[in-house]
Structure 1
Amino acid sequence: MILRRFFAEKSKGFYVDVGAHHPKRFSNTFHFYKQGWFGINIDAMPGSMQLFNKQRQRDINLEIPVGPDQSSLTYYIFNETALNGFDAHLSQQRASSLDPYHIERTIKIDTKSLGSILDEHLPPGMHIDFMSIDVEGMDLDVLKSNNWNKYRPEIILVEILDNSLSKLKSSDVNKFMESCGYEMYAKAVNTVLFKCCEPRNTVG
């Protein structure tokens, strides 16, 4: 609802969804797609983009693991795909505490930086209105892999499960976003919105 209000007067726009998971389920971008927006959906899960290619045909749908450039990481695959991710501690914690969810298998996959993905796939001259990042414990790594001098979305959504506002203020994610010229703008249940404080930069 916060995001819808922020962009209420904007009929067309562009988004980037990192950890997109599903074209509709738990999606921060599907509402905007229905309104005529389009964007880039990215997810590491093998086969994840088959459904996107059917249901989000205006979008650019990429099956690419995002993280430190050219790193080989272990990807944890659950029987509930919304829990999939690279964070070993978080994955093991969820497997032991979230019955009936469990890890079905792990695979080794090579990551690409967010900046390099945008270099390759962002349409020329396109400004990113907002970016949603939900990668189950690897959010800071994804943020650090962006080229912030070049790609500066107006709003960034990051999944942060801690609901303490004082802890959020001192969190590594908030400190990093502040160093990039963003400020904490709003807090939903499991998501924090950051707003760009500097003039927006259109990539040519």
Structure 2
Amino acid sequence: MPESLNVSIYEDIEKLGLKAPDIAVPHTPSYGQCAEDIIVCASLRALAFKEQLDLSKEFYLEIGANHPIATSATWLLHKSLGMHGVLVEANPHLLDDLKRVRPHDNILHAAVIATDASTTPIFISSKDELSSTNKKFLAEWPGEPIVLEEDIVVPALRINDVIIKHMDGKSPLFLSIDVEGEDLTILNDLDLTRFRPAIIQIEPSDHFLENNSRDICDLMQRNTYDLIARTNVNLIFTDSARSPVSREIVADLHATKEALGAAEQENQRLLKRFSELNKHALSSS
């Protein structure tokens, strides 16, 4: 099959009556919803060049995999960079195609949630891309009407457990979260003092959660991630803490988190002791 041309360029050239370029401009493959995978792919290549990484030995984690190719956040990364990883999908009707087309990846049937429950309901939409653990997300979808076809109970996992149990505790180089309305909840549950993907892509769904993009950006900024791209659908962040100076900041954040945890435990111990002494004083009076 001959290499296809960049349709956008040649359509505008014809529309404006311009001469075609002497050197043909080929089409650049993209499978992401708004070509986010091209941005991510280029960013990973830059990172690999800077840090001397072999990307074929690096991993991605895609939460809310859906279709194996269409709107996939990771298909281009596998095809172009040789990466592989873990794809998490809650809708059981989509698993066969994922396993058939993506045998190089570990396909997990689960919904990622932010509690320790072993199962959770999922609401299956008439449009596969819009199924969600949040029923309200389907009901308030602003586009073409969708139908709730079924609600079922599926296995549930927390994001940190996915990394620990299915990625040997090694942080993925790239993380994509696309779970229709619950994305920030999942991101909040990720222990960024322990697991730090170099690049994180997340869908804010501002139509459903007003100012969610701002809330996500605030969270990422507090954890030393920089916003590098914003498409019509997704936000893309890079870890600024990969520099030596920033690594010290992350280490300080981790130490602070541990200190706060210890202080909270001591505070609870003192409150309990105070309550015991107070009861004893009252009973003696």
TM tier, shorter chain? 0.7 to 0.9
Task: Look up the equivalent residue of 2:105 and give its one-letter code.
Answer: D
Question: Could you say which residue in structure 2 is the equivalent of 1:65?
Answer: 111
Q: Which has the higher helix share?
A: 2
Question: Could you say which residue in structure 1 is the equivalent of 2:194?
Answer: 150
Structure-to-structure mapping, 1:104-115, within 5 angstroms:
104-115=149-160
Question: Could you say which residue in structure 2 is the equivalent of 1:82?
Answer: 129
Task: Look up the equivalent residue of 1:108 and give its one-letter code.
Answer: V
* Structure 1 residue 196: Cα displacement: 0.9
* Structure 1 residue 60: Cα displacement: 1.1
Task: Look up the equivalent residue of 1:159 and give its one-letter code.
Answer: E
Question: Could you say which residue in structure 1 is the equivalent of 2:164?
Answer: 119
Task: Look up the equivalent residue of 2:100 and give its one-letter code.
Answer: K
Q: 1:59 to 1:107 in 2, by over 3 A?
A: same
Question: Could you say which residue in structure 1 is the equivalent of 2:84?
Answer: 38
CA contact (8 A) 2:85 2:105 kept: yes
Higher RCO (Cα < 8 Å, 6 or more apart)? 1
Runs of 4+ with >6 A deviation: none
Q: Does 1:159 align with 2:214?
A: no
Q: Which has the higher strand share?
A: 1
Secondary structure of 2:157's aligned partner: coil
Pick from 21, 31, 42: which aligns with 1:5?
A: 42
CA contact (8 A) 1:14 1:38 kept: yes
Q: State TM-score, norm by structure 1.
A: 0.85
* Structure 1 residue 113: Cα displacement: 0.8
CA RMSD of aligned residues (A): 2.3
* Structure 1 residue 168: Cα displacement: 6.3
Name the CA distance, whole Å, in 1 between partners of 2:39 and 2:157: 30
Pick from 162, 173, 185: which aligns with 1:141?
A: 185
Q: State TM-score, norm by structure 2.
A: 0.62
Point out where structure 1 has 5 or more consecutive residues left out of the alignment.
none
